Structure 1
Amino acid sequence: MNVTQLLLIKTFTKTESINQELTTIADRNMKYLNQTEATNIDIELFNDYKFSVDQLMELAGQSVAHAIAKSFPVEKLSSKKLLVCCGPGNNGGDGLVAARHLSLMGYTPVIYYPKMVDKELYRNLVHQCKSMDIEMVQSVDLEQTKDFGLIVDALFGFSFKPPVRPDFLNIMDVMRRTDVPIASIDIPSGWDVENGPPEDGIKPALLISLTAPKLCANQFNGKFHYLGGRFVPPSLQEKYKLNLPTYPGVDTCVQI
């Protein structure tokens, strides 16, 4: 190795160190949202900034897929099969979008969607997944999870209020008991958006916060925490003093 190569390596290492330090400083100042703030930001994105639900869902779901690929590369998983558990709301829609993108990244997603929403948006998302030959199942038990390298938790978002509805009691129990790592979208399902996990809450290895982290993320102690959804207008960031970290390059997600 010559002197020029050594200098380049040292410069790159120093730059990486500075970037990590700046990200750490940004993380300390980043705002964690309560439920009302999270709801109001969504309302403003729809009403004031004229984003559509499906537009934000596509951006969020794509960033989720990218965060999963960074945290759990397909070649390092015990199986390239992913179990994507989708709920009836927007969080479930994010999961459907993420499954479609993950299928293009070399993974084999299998969608568990016990309560499909009879609205055009969700029918279209399901149609898109089926058109890409993504398998959909109506039941999952603990033994079956051994076939998967990762479980994607897209059941409940920040509007969740306990108790868990009967349709989802089984899958929640499965996620509590499985040894397969879990990637939760925005909120670990069953957690209180502000107060964090219940006593028997799931313990995801990866949390992908969307728009900005929610207060419960302060109690997340898994391996990876990403911020996804590179779509928040600067003026909205300033209004709510979000202090979001800088996304690297052209990435749609950033580790926090």
Structure 2
Amino acid sequence: MQTLGAKSAADLDKELMSEDGGFTIDQLMELAGLSVAEAVYKVHPPSKGKNVLITAGPGNNGGDGLVCARHLHHFGYTPRIYYPKPTKAAIFTGLQKQLNHLHIPFLTSLEEFTSALASSDLVIDALFGFSFKPPVRAPFDTVLSAIIDSKKPVLAVDIPSSWDVEGGPPEQGQLGSEFMPTYLISLTAAKPCVQWFKGERHFIGGRFLSADVAGKYGLDVPPYEGVDQIAEVPVDVSVEKL
């Protein structure tokens, strides 16, 4: 499987949002969040339980989680969001307003988060993306520890939180060393740490790359079907870093 390291992933995002690329951060986040929501529907349709807890970090990965929450609401789920460090940039405040209009609750305390976690059918890990550098710091260390201890099924967005994009899970004994999400959706392309992923299902999301741009970065566009924004790929594969 071809994977994008942190620098290549950042370069690709920069190119997509350049004058020549033509995309905006809003568009890419919307497409990413829609992909995450579709992956949820694929692995855990509402008939299996509608209570979905989204844990959102302060960066773009968290923004993908916020977009996902909006789509999940319209897909028939009951999403709840724990967003302990909201970002004040316009794109994030706009997403929060959209969610407030839909009466999707933002949990404001660890107590509310813990209660919601206990009654959730699925957890979305949208804490950190490919730019994350270990270790996990407060308050996210408490959040991640609770998710791991809960044994709830987890869908990780882009990379499992606490993992290094290149090196995978932290060393034994560190927070996240035993974290293995049930599902993973890699955005645009898989990252090198995917070689350590041993969960049940893996998807590529983000159906927006042209063949020309994909070829420039040595990527093959996955075989998206019909109107799907995601493509399922094998879990246990060897990887090639690009």
Length-normalised TM-score, structure 1: 0.85
Match of 2:165 in 1: 193
Greater gyration radius = 1
Question: In 2, distance between residues paired with 1:184 and 1:251?
Answer: 19
Match of 1:111 in 2: 81
Question: In 2, distance between residues paired with 1:145 and 1:193?
Answer: 26
Stretches of 4+ moved more than 4 A in 1? 141-144
Counterpart pick for 1:89 among 59, 73, 85: 59
Shift of 1:34: 1.1
AA paired with 2:6?
Q
Match of 1:11 in 2: none
Q: Secondary structure at the match of 1:68?
A: helix
Does residue 40 (structure 1) correspond to residue 11 (structure 2)? The answer is yes
Long gaps (5+) in structure 1 = 1-29
Does residue 52 (structure 1) correspond to residue 24 (structure 2)? The answer is yes
Q: Is the 8 A contact 2:54 2:123 kept in 1?
A: yes
Q: Which has the higher helix share?
A: 1
Q: Is the 8 A contact 1:84 1:151 kept in 2?
A: yes
Match of 2:69 in 1: 99
Does residue 212 (structure 1) correspond to residue 189 (structure 2)? The answer is yes
Shift of 1:76: 1.7
Does residue 154 (structure 1) correspond to residue 154 (structure 2)? The answer is no
Q: Is the 8 A contact 1:204 1:222 kept in 2?
A: yes
Q: Is the 8 A contact 2:3 2:192 kept in 1?
A: yes
Long gaps (5+) in structure 2 = 234-242
Listed one character per residue, the Cα deviations across residues 150-190 of structure 1 (whole Å, up to 9, x for unaligned) are: 00000000000122221212101112211110111001111
After TM superposition, the structure 1 = structure 2 runs for residues 172-183 of structure 1, keeping only pairs within 5 Å, are 172-183=144-155
AA paired with 1:50?
G
Aligned residues: 225
Match of 1:69 in 2: 41
Q: Is the 8 A contact 2:209 2:221 kept in 1?
A: no
* Structure 1 pair 144–111 and aligned structure 2 pair: CA distance change class (3 A): closer
Length-normalised TM-score, structure 2: 0.90
* Structure 1 pair 96–143 and aligned structure 2 pair: CA distance change class (3 A): closer
Match of 2:221 in 1: 244
**Percentage identity across paired residues of the two chains:** 47
